Amino acid sequence: MKKRLKPFVEPEFPSVKPEVKQELIASLEATRQKWRDFFEKITWTSFGGIGGEDTSLTGSKHLLEAIRETGEAVRLLLDFGMFQGKGKERNQILPVKPSTIDHVLETHAHLDHFGLLPLLTKDEEGFTWEIHCTPVTWESGLIGLKDSAKIGEDGYDEDYRKYAKLIRDAQGAIRIVRNADSKGIPKNKRNGDRMKGTGELDPSLGEGKDGVKIKNRIHGGKAIHDLPESKIQQSRQLLSELGFYDLETSSFINGASIKKNIPAPKKNLYDLKDVNKVEYFVQTHKYDEKFELEPGIEATFYNAGHIAGSAMVVLKFKVDDQSTYNVMFSGDLGRLRGDFHPYGKPRLPPEVPIDAFVHETTYGGKVHWEREFAIDDLGRVIREAYMKRKKALIIPTFAIERCASLLHALIELKKQEYFDGEIILDSPLGIQQTMVAGRHAEDEAFSENLMNKHAYRVAKGEDREGLERSKKFRIIVTGSGMANGGPILDYLKLYSNNPDIEFAFAGYQSEGTIGNELTSGYKSITIDGLKLHVEAKVNNLMGFSAHADERDLFEIMEYGSRSRRHGERHRNAKLLLVHGERDKSTTAYVNYLKRRVREGKRGVPKMENVFLPNLEETLVLYSAAGKEVEKKEE
């Protein structure tokens, strides 16, 4: 455990005169304060959340290191998120030693900012101090962590599906080849010994992880002896690739077994026990409430307007008697424009001059539709489906925020008689997160809609089947948002070839997801090895993003009129751009800044002070030595 400095004890000085003693104590106290509190160097290192070649823009985690004049370092982690998709193998290796971290500040509950906290606290020898966030971030984040521990939001559920399918294929192939090889060969010469332990079901695989039922199927429902030669050849090929079969000698390989030849994917990163430990370290703080992290470091969360509880964090480091060096980390920022702000607009107090902005750029280069337009667009899609007497519209969505926003919009559209029918929510995680959003939203109508038990209902088991026979029009909101897991896969298996059903994907669909294929117009998709023909109409809804767009980002950084008040301090501020695709949104945002400068816009930090941090590269934000050099030059 890290040692805190002992509280100051007044020295005795028995032989000194009282007035001299007072002076001595005062000077000692001053020295002690300075010695203990002032920082002479502040550095920034990003371990994720920066886009680039090796990783996606998920996995947000950054280290702020502040070094005192005594050489003592205070190490702060800003977000500790999970890599999702590209770069997820990095989740296995912690970039910092948990025991060397003093505090963690969490901006919001999305897993790519919050999802690895259990790895910090799981070991006894690990992290010992505090995790700071807003109360709502903790409420929502804990639900997310528990879910992640169960199903593996980091993508392992997907791996398990692939694994289960491969095992099924291998089992089928073993039966086919074994049967074919044995044709006409007397039983006692059928390589009986060699087959031991190969074709048999591994009992541990009877019920796969995450409830994947592995069935002992007969291939395609056909008797094996009816299969064409090409199918038998294909099976031999597969078994050869898996190391079960030697094509040259046409025989099974000794000692091959399903367990050995097809290794199971790695288990989840943490379990529920690990998640429960996190709570012990959490300290919550309301928006706008200053709190002291360590002597000489003050922190405040300000509403980021992105999701319920989301915050930007401002950190003030004492660098001398009069001044502080102020760092702002934006986390993910919400939107400034339009009239609809369920969680309030992003807000920063005017009195804080920022010396280093660390800024997300997810939507650099993009201008969003206002949410009002997005709701109109959703209304148009629903109205068309309803008028054409379609049976159902199925909308896959993310559990946090997006699900709540969509439900609110659907309820409003139903009130305005765009359709008559049922709104059904088929997502256990979605309902939990929607309740959090409903309880803590700033917008009253939004809150009322979500908490209204009669406005929509939670799906029952039987709701997924028989939609084509339904008499009422149904809108089903389900997970996951890009169809890379969750109940939407069941719906797609059942209805992708049904022209009476429609699907609507909300927002950005990243490459490699089924959501991306469908919204790009693919007429055939593959889920769990099943090839599906797409007859159902697929819509793509725009404008539901909870992120700031380029104009919003600029305004938040520029600080409106406040930046002018901070004048040169603002011009000299450093700007670190994170959370964007390096070659796309981040570059686009840099170009946007340059354009604003050319247009004569004030309040933009100098271009030489704009940085795009690389993975694990340490940038010096502040150095007392550097400051002295600057002073001498003046």
Fill in the amino acid letter for 173: A
3-class secondary-structure state, position 256: coil
Rounded to a whole number of angstroms, the minimum distance from the CB of residue 307 to Zn ion is: 6
140 vs 539, beta carbon nearer Zn ion:
140
Residues 71-90 contacting Zn ion, CB under 5 A? none
- Reported in sequence order, the residue ranges of 323-385 that DSSP labels E, i.e. its strands, are 324-329, 356-360
Binding mask 307-336 for Zn ion (x = CB under 5 A): -------------------------x----
- Reported in sequence order, the residue ranges of 304-445 that DSSP labels E, i.e. its strands, are 311-318, 324-329, 356-360, 392-396, 421-426
Plot region of 265 (φ>0 → left; ψ -120 to 50 → alpha; else → beta): beta
Q: 3-state SS string over 527-564?
A: ECCEEEECCCEEEEECCCCCCCCHHHHHHHHHCCCHHH
Number of residues that bind Zn ion (CB under 5 A): 2
115 vs 515, beta carbon nearer Zn ion:
115
Residue 96, burial from CB neighbour count under 10 angstroms (0-12, 13-18, 19+): middle
Rounded to a whole number of angstroms, the minimum distance from the CB of residue 367 to Zn ion is: 19
Rounded to a whole number of angstroms, the minimum distance from the CB of residue 513 to Zn ion is: 18
Residues 134-193 contacting Zn ion, CB under 5 A? none
332 vs 517, beta carbon nearer Zn ion:
332
Rounded to a whole number of angstroms, the minimum distance from the CB of residue 13 to Zn ion is: 57
**Short-list 158, 267, 161, CA closest to 213:** 161
Tokens for 258?
A: 């399903």
Beta-carbon-side half-sphere exposure of residue 528 (alpha carbons within 13 Å):
18
Rounded to a whole number of angstroms, the minimum distance from the CB of residue 404 to Zn ion is: 14
Alpha helices (H) in 456-507, listed in sequence order: 488-495
Residues 238-277 contacting Zn ion, CB under 5 A? none
114 vs 559, beta carbon nearer Zn ion:
114
Contact region with Zn ion (CB under 5 A), list: 109-117, 140-148, 322-330, 600-608: 109-117
Radius of gyration of the chain (CA): 30
Rounded to a whole number of angstroms, the minimum distance from the CB of residue 306 to Zn ion is: 6
Residues 329-368 contacting Zn ion, CB under 5 A? 332
Query: 559 near 326, Cβ under 8 Å?
Result: no
Q: What is the DSSP string of 290-313?
A: -EEEETTEEEEEEE--SSTT-EEE
φ, ψ dihedrals at 130, nearest 5°: -120, 150
Rounded to a whole number of angstroms, the minimum distance from the CB of residue 336 to Zn ion is: 16
Rounded to a whole number of angstroms, the minimum distance from the CB of residue 543 to Zn ion is: 17
Contacts of 65 (CB under 8 A, 6+ apart): 42, 43, 45, 73, 74, 75, 76
110 vs 345, beta carbon nearer Zn ion:
110
Contact region with Zn ion (CB under 5 A), list: 110-118, 120-128, 490-498, 592-600: 110-118
Rounded to a whole number of angstroms, the minimum distance from the CB of residue 99 to Zn ion is: 28
132 vs 574, beta carbon nearer Zn ion:
132
Contact region with Zn ion (CB under 5 A), list: 13-21, 94-102, 105-113, 155-163: 105-113
Contact region with Zn ion (CB under 5 A), list: 104-112, 383-391, 456-464, 530-538: 104-112
Tokens for 79?
A: 């977000």
152 vs 309, beta carbon nearer Zn ion:
309
Dist CA 581 CA 588 (whole Å): 10
Rounded to a whole number of angstroms, the minimum distance from the CB of residue 246 to Zn ion is: 52
Contact region with Zn ion (CB under 5 A), list: 106-114, 285-293, 321-329, 625-633: 106-114
154 vs 332, beta carbon nearer Zn ion:
332
390 vs 579, beta carbon nearer Zn ion:
579
Does 110 participate in binding Zn ion (rule CB under 5 A)? yes
306 vs 408, beta carbon nearer Zn ion:
306
**Where do contacts with Zn ion occur on this chain (CB under 5 A)?**
110, 332
